[in-house]
Structure 1
Amino acid sequence: MTDTVNVPEVFNRKRRRIVRDRAYARAKGKDFLSQIMVEEIMERLDVVKRTFQRALIIGLPAEGLEKELQTRGMKVVFADSSARAVEALGGVICDDDRLPFADHSFDLIINMGSLDTVNDLPGALLLCRRILVPDGLLLAAFVSAESFPSLKSIIMQAEGDRVSAHIHPQIDVRTAGDLMARAGLTLPVADSDHLRLNYSSLHRLISDIRDVGGSNIMTGSLFMIGRDVYRRICSLFASHAKAGGKFSESVTILYLCAWAPHPDQPKPARRGSGQVSLKTTLSRPSEN
C-alpha cells in the first residue's frame, strides 16, 4: 500500500462505493461503454506476442472480460470498491489506490473505467507497478476529459448563476502519460477513441453515465438538480436536437498501456518524437 495520508481526498470513498454498487445493480457489466472498452482492450492484448498466466481486473465488471482472459489460460482475480460486484463475481473489495496484493502477484493488470475516480492516482499506478512481475503489462480504459460536452453545456445554461459539479473531473491524454512515467512504468502509451453518440431522450443519456459510475462523487456537499432546473435542461435538450429528434453527444475513452520495468526492455524514444506506435510497443518480442 502507498502512504495516502497526505493525499487530498478529492473523491468521497463512501459515496464512490455507493455509486459503483448502484452502477452494478443497474447494468451488471452489460452497459455499452464497458463493452466498447472490453473490445478495444482485447484487441490490444491480442497484439502482445507473449502469454500471461495471472491477471487482475480492477474496476467495472464488464461482461465477457473475465471469460475472455480465462479462455487464454489465465487465472483471474477481480477487485473493486463495489461490494455488490465483488459479491456477485467473487474477488476483493478495495480501492484502486489501496490494493492489498503482494509484490509481483500478477503479470497482467486490466483497469476498467476506474482510474478517473481515484484519490491517489499516482499511488494507484505505483501500486500496479509494484504488484506486477518485471515486464508485466498494465492496460486501462476509462471515460476521459472532453466527454459529454453538450450535456455539461446545457446543465450550465439551465443552472444559470448557480453552477455546480454533477459529473466528476476527468483526465486527459497528456496527464495520463505523465502520471504513468512518474509512477516508474516503462514504455507508457496513452491514446483515445472519440465516439459520436445520438440520443432521443435525456433519460437514456443520463442512464449511460450512471451505468459506468459517472455520478458526482466529489468530497463536499452535493447540490441536487431541482425540478425547475431539470425542466430547463429537458427543454434545452429538445431544442438542441437535430433532424429526427436526436441529441448529439461525444464521449472520449482513454486507453493506457505501460509495462513494469525490466532490464531487457527497449529504451523509450525521446519524448515528443512520435516514432513508436501503440502496436509497436505492444508487439515487441518478450524476453520471458
Structure 2
Amino acid sequence: MTAARVPQIFSPHRRRARWRRSIAEQRREGAADFVFRSMAEELEERLAFMNFRPGTALLSGDPTGLARTALAESAETVRTVDPLEHDEEKAIDGTFDLIASLGAIDTVNDVPGALIHLRNALSPGGIAMVSFVGAGSLANLRRALLAAEPDRPAARMHPMIDVQAGSALMQRAGFGRQVADSYPLRVRYGALDRLVEDLRSQALTNVLAAAPPPLSRAALQRAREAFLETADADGRVTETFEIVILTGWKS
C-alpha cells in the first residue's frame, strides 16, 4: 500500500520568497513588526509563567529577531534556523528542551508531519510552542477581496487553522499533553494599502501553490472602497489578527 500523497496547497518557492522579502523589510526603519512582537512577548510571558528555563532552545520563523532576544533571557543556548533554508517537513537535527515556531507551521503542506518532527526533536519533558495567525483573522480584508471580484473571485488568502483544529493536530502528532488557545490582536487602518504593506513586511501574504492573477485597477479600487465600508467615525477600520498558540509536551 502506498502512502497517501500530501496535497500541495502551498508553494515552497513562494514561501521562501515571502520570508526573503520580510527579512529585508525588517531592516527598514518603521517596518511593521507588531504580529511577531506580540508572539515574542507572549512566548516570554508563558515561559515565565511556567517557570521554564530551557537548557537548549530551537527557534524557527520570527523574521524580526524579537523572539531570539526574548529567548536569550531564559534559555542557556538558543539555535535559530534560517527560514530561507529550513524545511519544516523534514526531520530536525538535534535534541532540544524547547522548540518555538513563530509564523511558520501554518503554511507547510504537511502540518501533522511538521509537528511530529518538532516532537521528535524534543528531549523528554521538552515543550514545543507554535504560534501563527489563525482562522478568524482579517475578516475585513476577506470581505474587500470578495467585493473586488464579485462574479468569479480568485483564491487570494490561504486556509487558516483554528484552535480546535490545532488541538487535534497536536494530538495527532503524539504530544503527551497539549494546550491550544488564541487571543486577538486588533489594529486600525485608514486604507487597504497600508494593511497589505504590513502583511508583506511580516511574511503574512498568501503563498498558495496556484498563485492568483493580479487584481485589475478597477478591482483594486473596488477592494479599497469595500474595505472602508466598516470604517468608524475617524475613518479607520479595525482589523483583527487571531493569534493561535499550540503548546505541547513530550512525555
Report the TM-score when normalising by structure 2.
0.92
| Partner residue, 2:35 | 33
Q: Percent of pairs identical after alignment?
A: 35
Alignment of 1:138-217 (within 5 A): 138-217=128-207
Shift of 1:201: 1.9
Equivalent residues of 2:178, 2:248 under 8 A apart: yes
Instruction: Provide the rounded CA distance (Å) in 1 between the counterparts of 2:4 and 2:22.
Output: 28
CA RMSD of aligned residues (A): 1.9
| Partner residue, 2:78 | 76
Partner SS for 1:194 = strand
Instruction: Provide the rounded CA distance (Å) in 1 between the counterparts of 2:200 and 2:169.
Output: 26
Shift of 1:147: 0.3
Instruction: Provide the rounded CA distance (Å) in 2 between the counterparts of 1:5 and 1:175.
Output: 20
Instruction: Provide the rounded CA distance (Å) in 1 between the counterparts of 2:158 and 2:40.
Output: 23
2:101 to 102, 107, 111: 111
2:9 aligned with 1:10, yes or no? yes
Partner SS for 1:8 = coil
1:97 to 89, 102, 111: 89
Instruction: Provide the rounded CA distance (Å) in 1 between the counterparts of 2:139 and 2:86.
Output: 31
Shift of 1:5: 8.0
Shift of 1:15: 1.0
Shift of 1:132: 0.5
Shift of 1:238: 3.2
Deviations 1:245-284 (A, max 9, x none): 11122221001111112xxxxxxxxxxxxxxxxxxxxxxx
| Partner residue, 1:226 | 216
Partner SS for 2:81 = strand
Q: Give 5+ residue unaligned stretches, structure 2.
A: none
Partner SS for 1:213 = coil
Instruction: Provide the rounded CA distance (Å) in 2 between the counterparts of 1:163 and 1:30.
Output: 28
- The change in CA–CA distance for 1:4 and 1:114 in structure 2 (over 3 A counts) is farther
Equivalent residues of 1:37, 1:141 under 8 A apart: yes
Deviations 1:9-60 (A, max 9, x none): 2111111101111111112596111001111111111122343111000112
Shift of 1:226: 1.3
Count of aligned residue pairs for this structure pair? 247
Higher mean C-alpha displacement, 227-236 vs 207-216: 207-216
